[in-house]
Amino acid sequence: MVRCFERICNFYCSFRALCYRCLASNTFPKDKEMLQIVYDFIYSFHMPLFFLISGYLFYLTKSYRKYEIKVIDFMIIYLLWNVLTWFLKFFMADAVNNPVTLQNLMTIFYIPLQQYWYLYSLIIFYLIFSIFNIRKINIKVLIFMLFIAVFSKYYNLEISIVKNTLFHMFFFALGGYLNNINLGIKNNLIYNSSFVIICILNCILYICNIHVFKNPFMAVVNQLVVASSASLLLVFIFNKYKRLKTSKMFMLFGQYSLQIYLVHCFITAGTRFGLRYLNIVNLPLYFILGTLLGLLIPIGLAKWCNGKGLLNFPFAPIKEIKKIGVIKI
């Protein structure tokens, strides 16, 4: 049951990442202001939720015992997809968002391309929490990570991906902390009250973040609370309702969440051109079709590549290396 919950949450991260990319399109200039609000709302929590779940899985599977293999796996995936993305962007030049140069290729080892920064940060988290032997996240560790997150945002440490990494390390630790406690709340009154409070708190803070907070420190704290409360709210929802946890469709999306995350940049870019070429100007239809294609095409591609050796290598390099038998890991 726990693994079903993990897959559902992974699907949700992938789904939200796809949503905000579709909504960020300039295809509908008349709705730009409304789309920007939705974009900002999704962006406020979808990456914190991704790292929260990553931390939860890291401690659930005790990955710190075999972190070397996972780090090598992530590094190969990171390099392959960064280089592939660079080549496509370089040769398509002005036809893409955020064009790249030769310098971007040379600095990939320490400055990832924009859409793959999360893989770089994930590698860093696996190394930090494993090498420093942080086998259990307690409240003291969590408070320390919270301090680091606030510090990184407040002082705006724009050095490569330092700010993003330090900020999201708190959510990775929060996922580990949730793994240590019992998510099932027996007292329905307490559970339902907490659910309502978190809902109200998240809405109020999100509105305040846009209209009220001018003090930089308070704005940073507010941003962190919004992301935390929204992420925890989703965890509570998926843990509460059994149908969500056992849905075969959600489990399928969760199973292929890595493939969705890796491929969706290419798919959403392609669907923008395709839907525009088909003259689909209805916003809800454009959004639904773009999101569905961005989910289903990566899954279809992953299923087709699975078991085909080199074709599956970009998604699961260590798995394919083991199959060859030449290199034993």
- Summarize pLDDT for 74-108 with one digit per residue, the tens: 999 999 999 998 988 888 777 666 788 888 888 88
For residue 270, the model assigns a pLDDT of 76
Mean predicted confidence (pLDDT) in 103-131: 90
Mean predicted confidence (pLDDT) in 281-292: 81
Q: What SS3 state is found at 165?
A: helix
Instruction: Quote the longest CA-to-CA distance of the chain.
Output: 61
For residue 2, the model assigns a pLDDT of 54
Nearest-5° Cα angle at 213, 209 to 215: 135
For residue 4, the model assigns a pLDDT of 46
Q: Quickly count: other Cβ atoms within 10 Å of residue 203's Cβ.
A: 13
Distance (Å, whole) CA 61 – CA 55: 10
What's the pTM? Answer: 0.86
Mean predicted confidence (pLDDT) in 21-39: 71
- Summarize pLDDT for 207-218 with one digit per residue, the tens: 776 666 667 777
